Amino acid sequence: MTDSNKTDESAPIDPPTQIVSPPSGGDAPSIDWLDLSSPGLINEYPYDFGRYQILEELGKGGMGVVYKGLQKDLDRLVSIKVILSNRLLVWKNVLRFRSEAKAAASVRHANIVGVYEAGKVLGQHFIAMEYIEGESLAKRNHRCPLNEEEAVRVVARVARAIAHLHLKNIVHLDLKPSNILMDKKDQPFVTDFGLARGLGGRGIGEDTEAIQGTPCYMAPEQARGDETEIGPLCDVYGLGAILYELLTGAPPFKNDDPFETLVKVIEAEPTPLRKVAPNVSKTIEKICLRCLEKKPEKRYSSASDLADDLDCFLAGDVVESTASSLLDQVKCWVRRKPALASHLILMGFFLSIEMIWFHVFKIRTAAYHDPLVLIFVLWGLTSVVCEWFHRKPRLARPTRFVWAASDVLFLTAVVANAGGITGHLLILLPISLVASGLWFRRSIVWMATGISLFSYVVLVLHASFFRPDVEIFLDHHFIVLAVLFSLGFLVSLMVRRIELLLSYGRRSGPLMHQEG
């Protein structure tokens, strides 16, 4: 193919793919530009585009626009994808676009959209693909949700296609319902290889310093940008995320802020399917959650193994590979509810020590022991209630403030019971300030700081009026108050810096996008 003002009229390539080689030195050539991705450029259809006619726009994604077209010389319908571009097009995006064509053209499978040709017309890069009459799996499931059997059958066929892709040493890395097309017979077809790469290598023109993909479908290692672990098991995670959404109506993790979604993908556990959709079978829930394991080695070892278990379920056979140990279940619960788990674990630790001192070594009095146990019990119950309210979207924000405030107040009660300003547990007050920073909200940090300062003043006043045995040194207490205020200020400053970094990332992360 050549770069000129004339339409490329070379013979069609079917099924092999013609790929234009990148220019030597990596610089984009001088070309006359035709930008089909600009809104409103095509005023009427059909629109002549080389040997094709563009008939209508089918959709727009993160990297290109897809049109329905007609290949005139063979009189067949095709899908034509053109790169989102302008005259200032970055050449690495062109390389990524061509990498997509190469990846898709190197495989032939009944459930993978085939590529006929790739090239450019008047400088406009395009890929001509097999036309699938239908809609995306995302639209299909939104219009008419699939039942469990239908969802499992679709994912099983997609898993077979992905297994074939892996045999060709290619990983997809952007599996999601909008990248799976459904024909009129509800047969799935995998498409959009914009992030695909070879095993043990990197995609052509790939920017490895950027997080690439859709956050709510990324595997944790992909969200971390861990190049050493990105591979076929990322696709296994993606298949599990698709199955989760088909059965529950939403992906495992989704937030209006993509960076908060990434944090959940890396740290949190998905809500068990049967809590969201009670009609889902236990076997499918276990299969799905196994795909969504944080550690790649705990997932299915291949997409083929996943497909085998799904087919086994469809056939009514027993699926034996879904069993999980009690320890694994506990770990999942801790990751799913980290705030509540950390509270209960710490309370359990302190209560266990207190029980040993009181019942075994007999070195605690009932006057000290009983109030302390009551405080921890009330604190634990409050944490459980707060966690329940925090799961409600409308109540999540105020619940964070209530939870953080209750933590400081209960800690103050523990300190007061353990000797007040002379007790060894006074160190818990500054620790509560540091813990408030884990909410990543400066307003919560300053609220916790204010309550801590107030609580310490109350402890000092209590000692001065009711503890004649305690000598009050005002300079010491002013130093403690200054330390608490300084610690709150520093934690707030760190949270502010994190907010600035996230704000910068939102503006400069073009390769990471939310699912529309």
- Which residues in 106-250 belong to E strands, given as ranges? 115-121, 124-130, 134-136, 170-171, 180-183, 188-190, 197-198
Q: Which amino acid makes up residue 294?
A: K
In terms of C-beta density within 10 A (0-12 exposed, 13-18 middle, 19 or more buried), how is residue 6 classed? exposed
Query: Which residue matches tokens 């319902």?
Result: 177
- 288: which 2 tokens? 């799905």
Q: How far apart are CA 180 and CA 319, in angstroms?
A: 26
- 83: which 2 tokens? 């790169």
Check if 174 is active-site: yes
- Torsions phi, psi of 119, nearest 5? 180, -145
Q: What 3-state class would DSSP assign to 436?
A: helix
Q: How far apart are CA 199 and CA 371, in angstroms?
A: 61
- Torsions phi, psi of 191, nearest 5? -140, -175
Q: How far apart are CA 113 and CA 94, in angstroms?
A: 21
Q: How far apart are CA 334 and CA 210, in angstroms?
A: 30
Q: How far apart are CA 448 and CA 384, in angstroms?
A: 20
Bond preceding residue 29 cis, omega within 30 of 0: no
Catalytic one among 174, 235, 309, 407? 174
Report the Cα–Cα distance between both ends of the chain, in Å, rounded.
35
- 153: which 2 tokens? 């059958």
Q: How far apart are CA 31 and CA 16, in angstroms?
A: 26
Q: Which residues are catalytic?
A: 174
